[in-house]
Amino acid sequence: MQFPAAQIALIVSGKIEGDPNAAVSSFGKIEEAKEGQLTFFANPKYEDFLYSTRASIIIINDAYELKQPVTATLIRVPDAYTAFATLLGKYQEIMQQQLTGIQQPSYIAKTATYGENVFIGAFAYLGDNVKVGNNTKIYPNAYIGNNVTIGDNTVIHPGVKIYHDCKVGNQVTIHAGTVIGSDGFGFAPQADGTLKKVPQLGNVVIEDHVEIGANATIDRATIGSTLIKSGAKLDNLIQIAHNVEVGNFTVIAAQAGVSGSTKIGKGVMIGGQAGLAGHLQVADGSKINAQAGLGKSLKTPGQAVTGSPAYDYNKAIRSQSMARNLPELEKRIQELEALVKQLMAEKV
């Protein structure tokens, strides 16, 4: 399938410089792209490749001034990176729309319902009273438990497990191997030293436009819901415990973990391998650095923290700067001590 520059420019609201009939059928990195491929230029580090690439079409920022001629057709946009992402998304949507129907063998309970243009892959399981919306894709070996609701235009990748009673919104993507709605980690210590399991009777609610990476785990609530709000993006290998709330447009990088009942605000950024203790409040716009250990609430919006235990990022940078100067300070102190001893000896 080929796409001409004129059609691409229409999708990204861009202006064409060159041949509007130039066509592409795939994408390529600017340093590797071949004729018939589309690429983008946004990072100045790749400027040399702009003039040597064999790509047929290049998405480029409006503000960039060429230093020499290029052979490719240019499509100028305000933000090349965002425009390229839009094109990739559109291409993926077109490819997924071609995938419809129900493969066999698969199990769909008699009380399960699904909308138009769905795809249900081989060995998928849909339990009692499952509801699946229009244009949703459920790939092979997925498990959808009883009473689960999945909205429109959602993609459930291979091997995803969604336990009973959970709710998944519209235009959600859940990548392979992720488990939604497993039991929260709740055990009550007993007088004899044993641990009594606390039944986890709640569910997980994932709102619209959420993306969850591969092999992530989101536990169901003890009572109520573990909530991932619309627009949130979760990376691979993340643990979200019971009754956690993740705010709108919050991003969490790989291998991070959030303990039970912590409430994370809107637009928060959490780095890889960060750990958050339970029952905390994290204010909107907070930034938690990679490998940070957060043990107390962040109540000031926009605060940045690092380290374990986590503390103010700017103070941490100053402390690190001072630590680097310690050898020089030690040398100066030793010189001062020697000078003081000399002066004392002369005085005597």
Q: What is the pLDDT of residue 348?
A: 67
Residues sharing a CB contact under 8 Å with residue 155, sequence separation 6 or more, in sequence order: 96, 136, 137, 139, 172, 173, 174
The architecture in CATH of the region 101-314 reads 3 Solenoid (2.160)
Q: What is the pLDDT of residue 167?
A: 98
**Secondary structure (3-state) at 19:** coil
Question: What is this structure's pTM?
Answer: 0.81
Q: Spell 246-268 as b/e; 16+ CB within 10 A means b.
A: bbbbbbbbbbbbbbbbbbbbbbb
Residue 242 is a catalytic residue: yes
How far apart (Å, rounded) are the C-alpha atoms in residues 91 and 72? 21
Q: Are 206 and 221 in contact (CB under 8 A)?
A: no
Q: Are 100 and 114 in contact (CB under 8 A)?
A: no
- At 257-309, the pLDDT tens digits run 999 999 999 999 999 999 999 999 999 999 999 999 999 999 999 999 999 88
Residue tagged active-site, from 157, 209, 242, 279: 242
Give pLDDT < 50 ranges for the chain: none
Q: Which two tokens stand for residue 283?
A: 């204010």
Q: What is the pLDDT of residue 313?
A: 75
CATH of domain 3-97: 3.40.1390.10
**Secondary structure (3-state) at 57:** strand
Beta strands 251-252 and 269-270, pairing class? parallel
Query: What is the domain partition of the chain in residue ranges?
Result: 3-97, 101-314, 315-347
